Structure 1
Amino acid sequence: MTNEPPIAKTDLETGPTGALYPTMSESPELRWSFIRRIYSIVAVQLLLTIAVATVVTLYHPIVNFLTTTRGGVVCFLLLFITPIIISWPLYHYRQRHPVNFVLLGIQTVSLAFVVGLACALTSGKMILESAILTTVVVMSLTLYTFWAAKSGSDFKFLGPFLFASLMVLLAFGLIQILYPLGSLSVMIYGCLSAIIFCAYLVYDTDNLIKRYTYDDYIWAAVSLYLDVINVFMAFLTVFSAADG
């Protein structure tokens, strides 16, 4: 008989090298598959947003209709509030296929029109600067969150602070609409928005790694997509205020 060295066990539940965080008890392969699915959905949403926003920006009759006619203004208001209104049924039916994907598509397209109109009212230079900065920030914070989770950090504590910050941001925006305070105020609002939604990106990515269930893939994708879009819109607001 030959004395062979014992074969190392690779039981997934005992902390394999592929674990995303130290206390992980589920299969890393399943969680990684879930994460890839989420980012695939978000990628499709972003591509759809870019396509629709590009058409709105380059096809001037759409912008003229939405900004100069009474019916167009009504359509824009409907497009603006649709993503908010549809969030409730989307959350309620987030696990029911294919209704969840239909609602997700409606929310994405309506929000893409809003992004396209915002881009149409700014210069191409600002759009490019905002897109580049958003790409750098999103990729950096995503990689950082995965590294921090692997190192044992947890960002669950950010939840209450982010909710309170979002309420302050909404109140600030309402005040700005009713009582415009000038370009400096708009710039401050944009900077605060960028900071808050960057923090949301870290928080939602951490939830994606640790807390979202496999059936919540739609809501996880919605959270990350909205974070990216809001970061982009915040940077666009800052650059527009600085230019004005």
Structure 2
Amino acid sequence: MTDIEQQANNGPYIPEDFMYSTKVISCEPQIRQNFMMKVYSLLSSQLLFTFVFAYTVSRHEGLQNFIINHMALWWIATLFTLVSCIWLSFAPRPEEVEYNSSLLNGTDDDDPQALPWYVLGRTGKLALLSIFTLCEAYTLSLVTLVYDPDVVLRALLITAVIVVGVSLMALSKRFANVLNSATSIYYWLNWALLLLIGIGISSMFFGLGNKMSLFYGWLGAIVFTVYLFIDTQLIFRKVYPDEEIKCAMMLYLDIINLFLSILRILNNNNDDN
């Protein structure tokens, strides 16, 4: 069927690659709202499960003893967290693989083709996100055992206030042009992140003094607050409508790392008092 016949029979002609090339910012308002609802529904579920799991462990002595006495499981959970995070971050979209394959092979887009094993559909992505969240919650529960429950609660409340404020700022039209300089911002953020990783690795062998621990906490809080701001803008302007799972994971990581940084700051101040 020619393009003219398709237009006559089915209305205005829409290119076949429209869905492939259309990003959220270019979609209809209803699609953007649905995308936002999906992202924040997934994100809320992740955060709720993580903090409920950590709170349950902090109040249940049996679970605490199990986690402490089975550190091998903690390392396995950490490994699964890294693998699932990298997989969700870099796995190509099924539409992208099919589109490129049809261009290279000259095949019809309607012909079913087997996708590579690393390309996940929505069900596979949801399953991998669930594994990622479960493993992250398990690893985080051990970290929260080190701190006083009151300090953990204060860190949680402060994190919630910052997340709401930063998200509202990032989604407002006033800051829409900030994304134009995101490349340069990401450059400095990545250097700061490498510094955080370097300090974290060195602390495993040499420990951290009070001043260095406070510096580490403040640097992490600043870095991940900016990451949250930029990533919130990025996912609602530069991604495709079917990437809500990846976007939820990005924001989840920003929030968890922000929470851990604030927790370190409050605990350091609590020790000084």
When normalised by structure 2's length, the TM-score is 0.74
CA RMSD of aligned residues (A): 1.9
CA apart distance, 1:121: 2.2
SS of the equivalent of 1:210 reads coil
Partner of 2:19: none
How many pairs were matched up?
Answer: 218
Taking the aligned partners of 1:94 and 1:167, their CA distance within structure 2 comes to: 29
Moved more, 144-153 or 173-182: 144-153
Partner of 2:228: 201
1:74 maps to 2:72: yes
When normalised by structure 1's length, the TM-score is 0.82
Taking the aligned partners of 2:152 and 2:119, their CA distance within structure 1 comes to: 32
Moved more, 233-242 or 152-161: 152-161
For the Cα contact (< 8 Å) 2:170–2:176, is it kept in 1?
no
SS of the equivalent of 2:122 reads coil
Per chain length, whose mean CA-contact separation is higher, i.e. which structure has more relative contact order (CA < 8 Å, sep 6+)?
2
CA apart distance, 1:62: 2.0
Q: Aligned in 2, Cα 1:243/1:176: closer, same or farther, shift over 3 Å? A: same
Give ranges in structure 2 of 5+ residues lacking alignment: 1-24, 92-117
Give ranges in structure 1 of 5+ residues lacking alignment: 1-23
Give a deviation string over 1:179-237, Cα, whole Å, max 9, x none: 11322211211111111100110011011221111121111010011111111111111
Partner of 1:114: 139
Partner of 1:98: 123
The AA in structure 1 aligned to 2:236 is I
For the Cα contact (< 8 Å) 2:169–2:175, is it kept in 1?
no
Partner of 2:182: 156
SS of the equivalent of 1:143 reads helix
The AA in structure 1 aligned to 2:130 is G
1:129 maps to 2:149: no
Taking the aligned partners of 1:223 and 1:94, their CA distance within structure 2 comes to: 19
SS of the equivalent of 2:236 reads helix
1:3-82 equivalence runs, <5 A: 25-67=26-68, 69=69, 72-82=70-80
Partner of 1:219: 246
